[in-house]
Amino acid sequence: MAELTNNLAQYIVRIRRYLREDTASISYWSDAFIRQVFNTCYRKRCAELIRAHEGYFTLIGTKDIVADQGRYAWPPGFSRLLKIELVRSDDDRVPLEREERHYGRYTSSNNSGNTQDTYHPTFRPVGSGFVLEPAPNYDQTQGLWLEWNGLPAELEADSDTVHSDFPFILDEILVLDTAVSLFDAEGMQESGQLRTLLRLRAEWAEEFSTFVNSRMIHRQRVTPFRGPYGDA
């Protein structure tokens, strides 16, 4: 039995069979353009797999804890946080909770007296990273354990293959996605169909919205707009 392969060159061959233009030199669609559209479709399907919350494209790594530093950057290629934990001296890991602090004074003295085994802050995402509150008062190599969704690399060389997490048994969806998108592109250039662009934008807007709404998995404590005093 022949070994299953799924490199970019073979995907392009399969796509061209649907286009009925097997030879790039006399085709309306160049191989470079097919690669571009294929990668767009590939990223879109990968985003859907990430939202399944089944561990697809999960990366694991650590960060060093730095004394008096509360803000840390997300790892390169970060897409969505799955887990953030503190590493204790016996290598046990303690998960952190996300808390959006709207009331209550924060002072740097809150971290006094903490050690590797007693420090237990909350975290909250800020920009391209996160903040620990209170900040640590000690240094620790690999003191934070993180699990996050990474971004699958685009396929550029003919020998490049899709990510091992992508369900190969269903890879025909990538071929069909690309073929349909190429026909859309041809139609837009030849007839200037604005409705095609509007439909494509609506599809991507929906993907964007659902992806953002499921960006992080966590237990969250938020107490917005609650005053400092309760009723007697």
Interval 142-182: pLDDT, tens? 999 999 988 889 999 999 999 999 988 889 999 999 998 88
User: Comparing 75-79, 82-86, 111-115, 156-160, which segment has the lowest mean pLDDT?
Assistant: 111-115
Work out the number of other CB atoms within 10 angstroms of the CB of residue 34. 22
179: containing domain: 8-53+158-192
Q: How many domains does the chain have?
A: 2
Q: Tell whether 49 is covered by a domain.
A: yes
- Residue ending a domain, among 119, 150, 181, is 150
CA-closest candidate to residue 186, choices 25, 80, 84, 33: 33
Strands 93-95 and 78-87: antiparallel
| Angle in degrees, 0-180, between the axes of helices 31-50 and 172-191, rounded to the nearest 10 | 120
Residues 69 and 106 in one domain: yes
Average of per-residue pLDDT values in the chain? 83
Distance, in Å, from the CA atom of 131 to the CA atom of 111, rounded to the nearest integer, reads 14
CA distance 65 to 85: 12
Task: Tokens for 49, please give them.
Answer: 């797999």
Strand partners, 147: 60, 83
Residue 130 clears pLDDT 60, i.e. is over it:
yes
